[in-house]
Amino acid sequence: MIIVTGAAGFIGSALVGELLRQGWADIVAVDDFSRPDKAPNLEGKKLTARIDRREFLAWLDANQELVQFIFHLGARTDTTEFDKSIFDELNVAYSKGVWERCVRYGIPLVYASSAATYGDGDLGYDDTDDTLPFRLKPLNPYGESKNEFDKWALSQEHEPYFWAGLKFFNVYGPNEYHKGRMASVVFHAFRRITASGGMELFRSHRPDYTDGGQLRDFVYVKDLCAVCIFLMQHRKSSGLYNLGSGTARTFLDLARATFKAMDKPERIEFIDTPIDIRDKYQYFTEARMEKLRSIGYDRPFHSLEEGVEDYVRNYLMPDAYL
């Protein structure tokens, strides 16, 4: 039995779908299933059970002998939320409960960390230095919560016999339709271009970056799922791992790839970055991927153009939710 927490969300449901596609049939989905906007993400997927996240830890205590692996992807991910107590409960305390049970019951664990832990990137994006998380200064409570759990995990005397914390960079792809403001720029670009023929990007508020020249490591969700499944089968070399494409690209590159995938002429305008996130805004992220490659992961990642084309043409253009 494989457990996926956050299973009704973007990345969790994508992973559930890929596990089923590959023939892993005994899957338990954990989430808050009360949100109807997330229901389509699991529609048609044959699951062993659906467990409410508030009941999961007790359920795991009662059913631990059936569980072979846990993907703990459930979290509060809103980077514009500044109530620290929400993150303390959902991203830190809850994750500790999952970890402690994995130790107690001998269950291997992959959990979702985030590139938001790296803050403004001044200290780099090195996942090989286990002292780095203790020096990082994330830019928002979400990033702080993910870094707090990473630090806690690295400090534990007792740990699951295998664990990996994955620092997700800028993930995009199918099943993010419910995320609203937090959905990827590809998703928002597609909707805006569909509605008006053009799109807007944030203007740069730093002299060393041109408008639209802000850089991100955009990673296609299909690549992320492939890494998760590799680690489930590998079960060696525990620790923190970056999970990006390894190549930073500009938002302008992304916009142009979206126009091209839609067969639309480019029409891009620039607007000010909203005040509430302007001083928390990252201008450059790029995953160092040598650590993951060093343990045997050798599959290529989608280029930005390849990923955007697949997402737009095979998921967004025929999508009924749009």
Q: Which residues are catalytic?
A: 142, 179
Burial status of residue 100 (CB atoms within 10 A of its CB: 0-12, 13-18, 19 or more): middle
Tell me how crowded residue 64 is: count the other CB atoms within 10 A of its CB. 15
Position 127, amino acid: D
DSSP class of 57 = H
3-state DSSP assignment of residue 35: coil
Contact 42, 72 (CB under 8 A): no
3 state SS of 297: coil
Sequence-distant (≥ 6) Cβ neighbours of residue 234 within 8 angstroms: 295, 296
Task: Supply the DSSP string of 123-163, one letter for each residue.
Answer: T---SS-TTGGGT---SSHHHHHHHHHHHHHHH-SS--SSE
The dihedral built from the CA positions of residue 144, 146, 147 and 153, taken in this order, carries a sign that is positive
Q: What element of type H or E holds 229?
A: helix 221-234
Integer Cα distance of 249 and 142 in angstroms: 23
Provide the strand spans (E) within the chain: 2-5, 27-31, 49-52, 69-72, 109-114, 163-168, 170-172, 199-202, 215-216, 218-220, 239-243, 249-250, 268-271
**Could you give the angle at which helices 304-311 and 251-261 cross, rounded to 10 degrees?**
40
